[in-house]
Structure 1
Amino acid sequence: MIRHIVFFSARDKDNVEAIVSGLWKLGEIPHSTVFEVMKNTKTDPISDEIDVVVYAEFKDAEALAAYKAHPTYAATTALVRPMRELRISADVVSTL
């Protein structure tokens, strides 16, 4: 299983809800087994840069590649990219 975690910061904090709404469209792509979009609670006293987190799980690398190749992925990226400042992505393999 691959856990795909992506952190976003909004260029303008007024766009956080639009980013969340836009990113939820990625959940329509059929290749993930788990898909969530969450606003960061910002309870960590050291770091508050991250506004939105995407968490998804994929059966394998092929499923993740198919997800990223889906037309909805490209359309969502085009929608969200102008509103975001920072995007950090991590893909981790889990044996659990």
Structure 2
Amino acid sequence: MIRHIVFFTARDSGDIDAIVAGLELLGTIPHSQHFEVSRNGKLDQIGNDVDVVVYAEFADEAALYAYKAHPTYAEATRRVRPLREVRLAADFAAREAVAAKVRRSA
């Protein structure tokens, strides 16, 4: 399983709802096993720069690539890009998926 996490900061705090709405379009793309968009709760004592978080899970890299190739992904990008300042993304294999792969190869 691939976990996909993306952090966004808004150019203007008044645009956060529009960013969330634009990113929620991504949840209609059928390739994810789990998808959510949320405002950052900003509970960290050190840094709270991130405004919006996207968290998704995909069966494998092919599903993630299919998600990114979907026309709705392009539409969400078109809506959100002008409103956001920073976009940071991380994609990584879930530990249980890595452990299962190691067990199978042993």
Q: Which TM-score tier does this pair reach, normalised by the shorter chain?
A: over 0.9
Partner Cα separation in structure 2 for residue 95 and residue 66 of structure 1: 22
Percent identity among equivalent residues?
Answer: 60
Residue matched to 2:65:
65
Q: Compare the two structures and name the one with the higher helix fraction.
A: 2
- What SS does the corresponding residue of 1:62 show, helix, strand or coil? helix
Unaligned runs of 5+ in 2: 97-106
Partner Cα separation in structure 2 for residue 95 and residue 41 of structure 1: 26
CA apart distance, 1:94: 1.1
Which string of whole-angstrom CA distances, capped at 9 and with x for unpartnered residues, describes residues 38-77 of structure 1? 1001011211110000000000000000000000001110
Partner Cα separation in structure 1 for residue 34 and residue 16 of structure 2: 22
Residue matched to 1:15:
15
Runs of 4 or more, structure 1, over 3 Å off, are none
Partner Cα separation in structure 2 for residue 62 and residue 21 of structure 1: 26
Whichever of the two has the greater Rg, that structure is 2
Residue matched to 1:51:
51
TM-score scaled to structure 1, two decimals? 0.98
- What SS does the corresponding residue of 2:64 show, helix, strand or coil? helix
- Stretch of structure 1 that moved more, 26-35 or 40-49: 40-49
- Please give the root-mean-square deviation of Cα atoms over the aligned residues, in Å: 0.6
Q: Tell me the number of residue pairs that the alignment of Structure 1 and Structure 2 aligns.
A: 96
TM-score scaled to structure 2, two decimals? 0.89
What are the residue-to-residue correspondences of 1:1-96 with 2, within 5 Å? 1-96=1-96
Unaligned runs of 5+ in 1: none
